[in-house]
Amino acid sequence: MGNDAEILAPERVSVDASLDPEDIWICHHPGTKFHGELCIDEPYPDGCYERGSSTTYCWLLTPGECASDRDEPWKEYCKLLDDRL
């Protein structure tokens, strides 16, 4: 992840905490159907978060990050921004 991405762990922060309505939150929960999808602000198995875990979290992705020329692995998630437009 680039320096601009925010990691929300271990404290759970509401995905509504984004300052810009165009920003999106992406779930990091490898091995589940939620991983790499828009964050669902619920405990697993209904959402992204696993109680007591600091390894499952949602991270912020902004349109500005997707518009940058940097080649970052998280750029693959920019398609989720496009899907919302």
H or E element in which residue 66 lies: helix 63-67
The predicted structure's pLDDT at residue 15 = 58
The predicted structure's pLDDT at residue 48 = 95
The predicted structure's pLDDT at residue 82 = 80
User: Angle CA(28)–CA(24)–CA(43) in degrees, nearest 5?
Assistant: 45
The predicted structure's pLDDT at residue 80 = 92
Report the candidate in 24, 32, 31 with the shortest Cα–Cα distance to residue 58.
24
Q: How many Å apart are CA 69 and CA 57, to the nearest integer?
A: 26
Block means of pLDDT (10 residues each) for the chain, 85 residues, are 44 59 92 95 94 92 90 91 76
The predicted structure's pLDDT at residue 42 = 94
pTM metric for this prediction: 0.73
